[in-house]
Amino acid sequence: MHLLRLALASLANRRFTALLTVFAIALSVCLLLAVERVRTEARASFASTLSGTDLIVGARSGPVNLLLYSVFRIGNATNNIRWESFRHFADHPRVKWAIPLSLGDSHRGYRVLGTTPAYFEHYRYGRQQPLALSEGRAFATDPFEVVLGAEVAEALHYQPGDELVLAHGVARLSLTRHEDKPFRVVGILGRTGTPVDRTLHINLAGMEALHVDWRGGVPARGGARIDAEQARRMALQPKVITAFLLGLDSKIATFAVQREINDYLGEPLLAILPGVALQELWSLMGTAEQALFVVSLCVVLTGLIGMLTAILASLNERRREMAILRSLGARPWHIAGLLVLEAFALTLAGVLLGLALLYLSILLAQGPLQAAYGLYLPFAAPSAYEWLLLGAILLAALPLGGVPAWRAYRQSLADGLSIRL
């Protein structure tokens, strides 16, 4: 106990160096934990975005690519697929439900998704949770109705009844806006923690109506224009969509339907199992994750070596301190224990401060991270693995503290009392 008090008092005497050391360790600990947390949360949030869907179908490209653009709204489709292909497989005897997805327009940086009411009925996320409306209703037959994701409504302050204008393309600053056909907000979805929160949902007919008078990639001018009222009276049958989700009547049928879609002669299609594609994505990311982890481990090591340097350097100026302790009756192992305790105390303080820094940064970055990357970092207690990492860092402090302890043990008395020139 006296030893601990002595160690702390000695540290207090050198508080500036000690504080810097603690801060270096804290920063490295915070970095290590942040990397670990972002990694696990990214995996969890990706895994919980889609559940209950047996197959995702899109134009033939790569499974990871299709998964990213259809579900996570990352990247773009290489090709669209024909409406007839969708109808062909939606009417397949083994298919229980089918959700068409049409992407390509945006509203102030948020993606617009054209779909059908089946989306609200059959889309599942997390543990088979259905989408719930927090306000209003799903879109109905009128093509110009929009249902907002929770975050879109919150960030842009929309209420049911508000009108908004969609933009063509997905650039944040779009040159072409669909000014002539405003949409009315009819519903707002509850928060899901998935990309659904950042999406505006409209009817496929609405998507078609937006572009019905477009010729050659630009809106028609003058007499060729079709206004919202005229569009409402037209039969708005979509010709192309981006992808579709399928639910089957039995899991056993999955592979047969997958093969049938991949061999479809109408056009080149690709059907993927979302769970399998996700695993492929992880194996791609695994190397990068490991590299990040190794880098942050090295930073922790640097912090600890910095501490070792600071203690070793201090030994010289503490020759008197050690000698006085020895002459007052402290045994050599007391001196050694003192230094090990000091290293441990510095690391413990560093770890605690690092945890505090981590939670402070989660608190500050939670909002922006979710808005920009859809990554939700929960304010949760450290996981078992994180405790393990912290414990390992504390343990590593002991042998590191042993180095100066050994030197002091060897030379504390003679060195401190003899006069060095």
Partner 1 sequence: MPRLLLALPLALLTTLAQAEDAHHHHEPRHGEALAAHEHGSARLNLALDGDVLEIEFASPAMNLLGFEHAPRSDADRVMLAAARARLEQPLGLFGVPAAAGCQVREHSLHGALFEPTGAGGQEHSEIEARYRLQCSAADALQGLNLAALFGTFPATQKIQVQLIGPRGQQGLELSPERSGLTF
**Is 252 a binder of partner 1 (CB under 8 A)?**
yes
Nearer to partner 1, 218 or 265 (CB): 265
Shortest Cβ distance from residue 284 to partner 1 (Å)? 12
Binding mask 152-191 for partner 1 (x = CB under 8 A): ----------------------------------------
Decide if residue 255 touches partner 1 (CB under 8 A): yes
Q: Is 78 in the site for partner 1 (CB under 8 A)?
A: no
Task: Please report whether residue 263 would count as binding partner 1 according to CB under 8 A.
Answer: yes
* Per-residue interface string for the shown chain with partner 1, residues 25-64, x marking contact by CB under 8 A: --------------------------x--------x----
- With CB under 8 A as the contact rule, the residue among 230, 279, 309, 383 that binds partner 1 is 279
Contact criterion met (CB below 8 Å) for 169 and 180: no
Q: Which of 109, 126, 275, 382 binds partner 1 (CB under 8 A)?
A: 275
Q: How many C-beta atoms surround the C-beta of residue 338 within 10 A?
A: 25
Is 253 or 339 the residue whose CB approaches partner 1 more closely?
Answer: 253
CB of 164 to partner 1, least distance (A): 37
Q: Is 287 a binder of partner 1 (CB under 8 A)?
A: no
Q: Nearest distance from residue 79's CB to partner 1, in Å?
A: 14
At position 228, the amino acid (one-letter code) is A
Residue 142 contacts residue 128 (beta carbons within 8 Å): no
Token pair belonging to 35: 């990397």
The nearest distance, CB 280 to partner 1, in angstroms, is: 6
Cβ distance to partner 1 smaller for residue 241 or 281: 281
Q: Is residue 355 within the footprint of partner 1 (CB under 8 A)?
A: no
- Residue 419 CB contacts under 8 Å (≥ 6 apart), including other chains: none
Instruction: Confirm or reject binding of residue 126 to partner 1 (CB under 8 A).
Output: no
**Which part of the chain contacts partner 1 (CB under 8 A), choosing from 12-20, 144-152, 257-265, 364-372?**
257-265
Asked if 79 is part of the footprint of partner 1 (rule: CB under 8 A), the reply reads no
Please tell me whether residue 251 binds partner 1 under the rule CB under 8 A.
Answer: yes
**HEC assignment per residue over the chain:** CHHHHHHHHHHHHCHHHHHHHHHHHHHHHHHHHHHHHHHHHHHHHHHCCCCCCCEEEEECCCHHHHHHHHHCCCCCCCCCEEHHHHHHHHCCCCEEEEEEEEEEEEECCEEEEEECCHHHHHCEECCCEECCEEEECCCCCCCCEEEECHHHHHHHCCCCCCEECCEECCCCCCCCECCCCCEEEEEEECCCCCHHHHEEEEEHHHHHHHCCCEECCEECCHHHCCCHHHHHHCCCCCCEECEEEEEECCHHHHHHHHHHHHCCCCCCEEEECHHHHHHHHHHHHHHHHHHHHHHHHHHHHHHHHHHHHHHHHHHHHCHHHHHHHHHCCCCHHHHHHHHHHHHHHHHHHHHHHHHHHHHHHHHHHHHHHHHHHCCCCCCCCCCHHHHHHHHHHHHHHHHHHHHHHHHHHHHHHHHHHCCCC
* Interface with partner 1: number of residues (CB under 8 A): 21
User: Locate tokens 């002595």: which residue?
Assistant: 6
Binding string, residues 231-250; x marks residues near partner 1 by CB under 8 A: -------------------x
Under the binding rule (CB under 8 A), the answer on residue 273 touching partner 1 is: yes
**Judged by CB under 8 A, does residue 265 bind partner 1?**
yes
Cβ nearer to partner 1, comparing 245 with 311: 245
Nearer to partner 1, 274 or 350 (CB): 274
Candidates 80, 254, 366, 411: give the one binding partner 1 (CB under 8 A).
254
Binding-site member from 274, 303, 337, 416 for partner 1 (CB under 8 A): 274
Chain positions contacting partner 1, by CB under 8 A: 51, 60, 250-252, 254-255, 262-263, 265-268, 273-280
